[in-house]
Amino acid sequence: MSDEIEIRTRREYGPGYVRVLARFGYYEELVSLEGIQARLVKRRDSKNYYIELMLEGVECPRPTSLKTSDLQKAIELAREKYRDAIRRVIREEPLGEPLMKDLLDAFIRWQRERVIKKEFEHNRIRRHRSISVNHILPLLGHRHLSSLTTEDAAKFQRERLKSGAKPSTVATDVATLRDWARFGMERGYRKIPLVAPVKHADPVTVESSWFEPEEMRRLRNALRHEDPVLRNLVLFLYHTGCRPTEAGNLRFEDVIPHKPRGGAPSVRLRLRGKGKNRVIPVLPVVRTIVERMAAHHGRRTGQIFPDVKRLSERFRYFLLKEGLYYDAEGNRRRLYSLRHTRATQELLRGQVPAVLAGWMGHTIEIQQRVYSKVLKVVEQEGLMRRGRGR
């Protein structure tokens, strides 16, 4: 071959090579290739050659294995792969790149390929098409995929939240936008993925549906004629304030007996869910509910509420039948509303917000956003009490 091959040992290459060693591992030899900005390296713990890009002013990826130990063959493979590799690294605004609005059909075809590979279910294609047509393309359709940044994603997120979309819906929309970026990377239009913006970049008040005291009494009276498992689940969520998923993960082994000094025997619960584990004290009535569920199942091991998803649907139909599905502001109620009910009642009783946040398993920021109206009422009542005290 006409290539001039230059092999340098680690000692001959100098201190620059030491930095490479510290970053990528131990290399035995280096092979410089003329005419292209790349070189071959060989590690001590591998017989194969790796290609490493050497582009000035550009952060290059780690060396890629050529899966051959033959030097002449490695040089041939390096020259073949160089053009594709450099395109992926230094591409910024490729000539002739179509706009996002012109790539919709190609994006959907790419989604179908992922369905064939079983990366996700088929019903996501329809959802992604709907989100793209109705929300992403009207705002960003005139842009190139290569020019999208995290600031664009944050702006898209803010616009969707201002339009009245729920935070969970906006999270799905942002995930679809990030899928567009992955599609652009595979097609060579982008060099890096799109970093998701911070959730709820702007403070947004979330409307939480909960039960008034009179509605809660109606609910408990009507539950006497329902399935005992559903009745116990509703009472359990109301008295503990835990999430429905945490109740579904709860096992009998997670119920820890507890007897405070001079008090009635009670229990503590070891809750798991949403990436957080915590142990909370609960009222004695919760121990009674656990005992009833143990008698119903005829066991004291395994899950206490094994089918929360099915019970959630039954609870929805039950609320529709009793006329409790909507609150006074038109928000729909669900099992999660029992958690909001417990938190709201505790705040109105004067519970310290920081203590309640630790008990409920959320942050102060989440509490201020979800229960902002309740906190304002509590603050006004506190000011009125101070005024009367003066």
Provide the token pair at 95. 């000539």
pLDDT tens sequence across 369-388: 888 888 887 777 665 555 55
What is the pTM (predicted TM-score) of this model?
0.53
Task: State pLDDT tens for residues 11-38.
Answer: 444 333 333 333 334 455 566 666 566 7
Per-residue pLDDT of the chain (390 residues; tens, 9 = 90+): 333 333 344 444 433 333 333 333 445 556 666 656 677 777 766 778 887 776 655 555 667 788 888 877 877 777 776 665 555 444 443 445 778 888 888 888 888 887 777 666 667 788 888 898 899 988 887 788 888 888 888 888 888 888 878 777 888 888 889 889 888 888 888 877 787 676 544 444 555 788 999 999 999 999 998 899 999 999 999 999 999 999 999 999 999 887 777 666 677 899 887 656 888 888 889 999 999 999 999 999 999 999 898 999 999 999 999 999 988 888 889 999 999 999 999 988 888 888 888 888 888 888 888 888 888 877 776 655 555 554
Residue 240 is inside which H or E element, if any? helix 228-240
Note the pLDDT of residue 10.
40
What are the CA-CA distances from residue 114 to residues 118, 120, 131 (Å)? Answer: 6, 7, 18
**Those residues with Cβ within 8 angstroms of residue 291's Cβ, 6 or more apart along the chain or in another chain:** none
Report yes or no: 154 and 200 within 8 Å, Cβ to Cβ.
Answer: no
Which residue bears the tokens 């410089």?
32
Planar angle of CA 259, 260, 265, nearest 5 degrees: 35
According to the model, what pLDDT value does residue 155 have?
86
